[in-house]
Amino acid sequence: MWYWLFKYIFMGPLLSLLGRPKVFGLEHIPQDGPAILASNHLAVADSFYLPLVVRRRITFLAKQEYFTGTGAKGWFQRWFYTVAGQVPIDRTDADSAQAALNTAAGILDQEKLLGMYPEGTRSPDGRLYKGKTGLARLALESGVPVIPVAMIGTDVVNPPGSKMWRKGRVQVHIGKPMDFSRFEGLAGNRFIERAVIDEVMYELMRLSGQEYVDIYAASLKESAGPAADSGTDPDSSSRIPESAAG
In the chain, where the domains are located? 2-245
The answer to whether 216 touches 122, Cβ cutoff 8 Å, is no
Q: What is the rounded average pLDDT of the residues 38-60?
A: 95
Note the CATH architecture for domain 2-245: 3-Layer(aba) Sandwich (3.40)
Residue 122: half-sphere exposure toward Cβ, Cα within 13 Å: 23
Q: What is the pLDDT of residues 94-107, one digit of tens each?
A: 666 778 889 999 99
Instruction: Judge whether residue 236 has pLDDT over 60.
Output: no
* pTM score, whole prediction: 0.86
pLDDT tier at 209, thresholds 50, 70, 90: very high
- By mean pLDDT, which of 14-23, 27-36, 66-75, 129-138 is the weakest? 66-75
Residue 140 CA to residue 137 CA, distance in Å, equals 5
Residue 49 CA to residue 170 CA, distance in Å, equals 8
